[in-house]
C-alpha cells in the first residue's frame, strides 16, 4: 500500500517520526509521579479585584510544564483540573458524582495550557429549601485552581472582593 506524502515527510531515513521527541519521552518516563506534579506550575487570575454582587467574573487559568521534556500527570478520576470559589467546586455546593476511571493530563516540553471563561458571579447552594443560585455576599472571596492529582496537588489562588 503506498504511503501518503505527508507521512513520508514526517519520517527520517531510519523510519522515526521527526515530530516526536523520543529521547524526551524516554527521560520523562523515568521521572517519579510526585516530581512530575511538582514540575507543573499553575496560575489563576481574574479581570478585576472588586465586583458588585452578581457581576460576571472573567477567570484565566494557566498550567505550565516547567520541565524540558514532555510529561503526563495521572489523575485518580476523569477530572484533570478544576476550580473552586470559597471551597465550592465550580461555584456549586451540589454533590458531584464521580463517573470512575482515571485521566491523564499531558504536556509537551515546557508547554503552557490556558483556559479562560466568564463565571456568572453566582454560587449554587443547597439547603432545606432546595437548590438555589445566588450572588456572592459582600466581602472577600477566593478562587482556587488546581491540577486534580491525588497527592502533590499543584494549585494557585487569587482573592477578590464583592462590594
Q: Is residue 12, in this structure, part of any structural domain at all? A: no
At 53-71, the pLDDT tens digits run 999 999 999 999 999 888 8
Q: Which residue has the higher pLDDT, 84 or 10?
A: 84
CATH of the domain at 49: 2.60.40.2360
53 is a domain residue: yes
Q: Is 158 domain-assigned?
A: yes
- Identify the band that residue 155 occupies on the pLDDT scale cut at 50, 70 and 90: very high
More confident: 126 or 154: 154
Q: Which of 21, 32, 33, 31 is nearest to 147 (CA)?
A: 33
Quick: pLDDT tens for 3-41.
555 555 555 555 555 556 555 556 556 666 677 778 899
| N-terminal to C-terminal alpha carbon distance within the chain | 68
pLDDT digits (tens, 9 = 90+) for 31-40: 666 777 788 9
Residue 136 falls within a domain, yes or no? yes
**In a domain? residue 5:** no
What's the rounded Cα separation, in Å, for the pair 150 and 77? 9
Number of domains within the chain = 1
Query: Rounded CA gap, 57 and 121, in Å?
Result: 6
Structural domain containing residue 91: 33-162
Contact 123, 93 (CB under 8 A): yes
Give domain status of residue 96, yes or no. Answer: yes
What is the C-alpha to C-alpha distance for residues 61 and 8, in angstroms, rounded to an integer? 38
User: In whole angstroms, what is the distance from residue 77 CA to residue 80 CA?
Assistant: 7
In a domain, 78, yes or no: yes
Is residue 75 situated within a structural domain? yes
Instruction: Output the pLDDT for position 131.
Output: 83
d(CA 70, CA 20): 10
Amino acid at each position: 500500500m503506498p504511503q501518503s506524502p505527508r507521512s513520508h515527510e514526517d519520517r527520517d531515513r531510519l523510519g522515526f517520526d521527526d515530530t516526536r521527541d523520543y529521547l524526551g519521552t524516554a527521560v520523562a518516563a523515568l521521572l517519579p509521579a510526585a516530581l512530575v506534579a511538582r514540575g507543573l506550575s499553575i496560575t489563576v487570575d481574574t479581570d478585576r479585584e472588586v465586583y458588585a454582587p452578581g457581576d460576571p467574573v472573567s477567570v484565566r487559568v494557566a498550567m505550565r510544564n516547567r520541565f524540558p521534556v514532555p510529561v503526563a500527570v495521572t489523575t485518580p478520576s476523569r477530572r484533570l483540573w478544576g476550580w473552586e470559589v470559597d471551597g465550592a467546586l465550580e461555584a456549586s455546593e451540589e454533590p458531584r458524582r464521580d463517573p470512575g476511571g482515571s485521566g491523564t493530563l499531558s504536556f509537551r516540553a515546557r508547554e503552557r495550557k490556558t483556559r479562560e471563561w466568564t463565571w456568572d458571579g453566582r454560587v449554587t447552594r443547597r439547603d432545606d429549601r432546595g437548590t438555589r443560585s445566588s450572588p456572592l455576599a459582600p466581602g472577600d472571596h477566593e478562587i482556587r485552581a488546581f491540577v486534580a492529582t491525588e497527592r502533590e496537588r499543584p494549585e494557585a489562588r487569587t482573592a477578590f472582593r464583592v462590594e
